[in-house]
């Protein structure tokens, strides 16, 4: 397979396992390019990409922009704060006005689940979802999978994730990262346990073929990799647990807890981290943690996605 089966990257749910393998293999080639003294290739010369962000971002926005520039694309950045969105312009009008300036691809982050899907039905450009509300964050799941494969593969490069045990711990209910990771890891054959307070566990989530645990120590004893998620207070308009202190006591990952288990597990976090809440600094900054490798790999993975989707331009 040398082409993606999709024209847009809206959700991991839409991808075939072959699409995911193709993206990860292409990302591995771009990672090699990024380790050269000259990190730039001409692959997307004459392609114009708009990064339109209606919600805050540090990692994803910078990572996409760097990926686009490494591929020699022309890049324009739009942020809703300070734009005519504040004067009442609709999402479709905003994007159509940007496209009128001859833009080929749109990378979009939006607070509303479904916004990138809506756009993909109304405009011609390729759309890449950079996170839509609580729905999906597909490139985060792809870079998480790549980072696991790289770390577990060691010298033999990328390990097959078939049968690898992955725990996703934290605020599952509000997390688009959890949703995309579950779809991606299941398509790659990994086993998944979700762990967090019952109030932050979506109803019927077992139907996605995952295990559920409310015991963080047992979960850590089971897994090869623990992907720790942030408590998304900005999406919580009611209290889901009594206090951050209590959350940290029962579900936080700290050094004493890791030392008490008889396994050397890999620690991941998509960021931004709430240090001292879901993870302590001595774990986040430990040798077991690959948090900054995840960020590094994000550029290669996004280069792969952009490059492969450009091959689907009309």
Supply the residues annotated as catalytic.
59-60, 87, 109, 137
Beta carbon of residue 134, minimum distance to ligand CP (angstroms, whole number): 13
Is residue 136 within 8 Å of 11, Cβ to Cβ? yes
* CB closer to ligand CP out of 209 and 272: 272
Only one residue has tokens 């077992």, namely 206
Is residue 172 within 8 Å of 199, Cβ to Cβ? no
Beta carbon of residue 60, minimum distance to ligand CP (angstroms, whole number): 3
Only one residue has tokens 């890449």, namely 128
Angle between helices 138-153 and 176-187 (to 10 degrees): 50
C-alpha 124/C-alpha 309 separation (Å) is 13
Of 26, 51, 60, 126, the one binding ligand CP (CB under 6 A) is 60
* CB closer to ligand CP out of 134 and 140: 140
C-alpha 247/C-alpha 224 separation (Å) is 23
Q: Does residue 59 touch ligand CP according to CB under 6 A? A: yes
Of 271, 277, 288, 310, the one binding ligand CP (CB under 6 A) is 271
Of 43, 57, 72, 288, the one binding ligand CP (CB under 6 A) is 57
C-alpha 289/C-alpha 282 separation (Å) is 10
Q: Which of residues 209-268 bind ligand CP (CB under 6 A)?
A: none
Stretch that binds ligand CP, among 30-38, 53-61, 155-163, 196-204 (CB under 6 A): 53-61
The residues pairing with 129 across neighbouring beta strands, listed in sequence order, are 108
* CB closer to ligand CP out of 19 and 55: 55
Of 17, 189, 272, 311, the one binding ligand CP (CB under 6 A) is 272
Site string for ligand CP, 107-146 (x = CB under 6 A): ------------------------x-----x--x------
Q: First and final CA of the chain: distance in angstroms?
A: 19
* CB closer to ligand CP out of 58 and 199: 58
Beta carbon of residue 258, minimum distance to ligand CP (angstroms, whole number): 22
C-alpha 306/C-alpha 285 separation (Å) is 31
C-alpha 62/C-alpha 18 separation (Å) is 28
Tokens of 56: 């805050």
Q: Does residue 7 touch ligand CP according to CB under 6 A? A: no
* CB closer to ligand CP out of 70 and 137: 137
Q: Does residue 58 touch ligand CP according to CB under 6 A? A: yes
Beta carbon of residue 141, minimum distance to ligand CP (angstroms, whole number): 11
Only one residue has tokens 């008490």, namely 260
Tokens of 144: 């998480």
C-alpha 237/C-alpha 144 separation (Å) is 29
Name the site residues for ligand CP (rule: CB under 6 A).
Answer: 57-60, 131, 137, 140, 270-272
């Amino acid at each position: 397979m040398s082409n993606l089966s999709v024209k847009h990257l809206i959700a991991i749910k839409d991808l075939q396992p072959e699409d995911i393998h193709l993206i990860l293999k292409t990302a591995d080639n771009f990672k090699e390019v990024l380790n050269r003294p000259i990190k730039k290739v001409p692959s997307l010369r004459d392609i114009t990409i708009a990064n339109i962000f209606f919600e805050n971002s540090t990692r994803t926005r910078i990572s996409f922009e760097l990926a686009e520039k490494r591929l020699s694309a022309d890049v324009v950045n739009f942020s809703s704060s300070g734009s005519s969105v504040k004067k009442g312009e609709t999402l479709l009008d905003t994007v159509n006005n940007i496209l009128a300036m001859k833009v080929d691809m749109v990378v979009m982050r939006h607070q509303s689940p479904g916004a990138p899907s809506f756009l993909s039905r109304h405009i011609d450009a390729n759309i890449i979802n950079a996170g839509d509300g609580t729905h999906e964050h597909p490139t985060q799941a792809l870079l998480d999978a790549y980072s696991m494969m790289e770390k577990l593969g060691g010298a033999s490069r990328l390990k097959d994730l078939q049968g690898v045990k992955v725990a996703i711990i934290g605020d599952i209910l509000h997390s688009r990262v959890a949703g995309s990771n579950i779809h991606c890891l299941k398509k790659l054959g990994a086993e998944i346990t979700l762990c967090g307070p019952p109030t932050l566990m979506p109803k019927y989530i077992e139907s996605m073929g995952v295990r559920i645990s409310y015991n963080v120590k047992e979960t850590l004893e089971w897994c090869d990799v623990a992907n720790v998620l942030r408590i998304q207070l900005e999406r919580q308009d009611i209290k889901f647990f009594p206090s951050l202190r209590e959350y940290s006591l029962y579900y936080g990952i700290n050094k004493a807890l890791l030392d008490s288990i008889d396994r050397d597990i890999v620690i991941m976090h998509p960021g931004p981290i709430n240090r001292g809440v879901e993870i302590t600094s001595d774990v986040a900054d430990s040798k077991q943690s690959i948090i900054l490798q995840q960020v590094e790999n994000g550029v290669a993975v996004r280069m792969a996605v952009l490059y492969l989707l450009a091959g689907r331009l009309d």
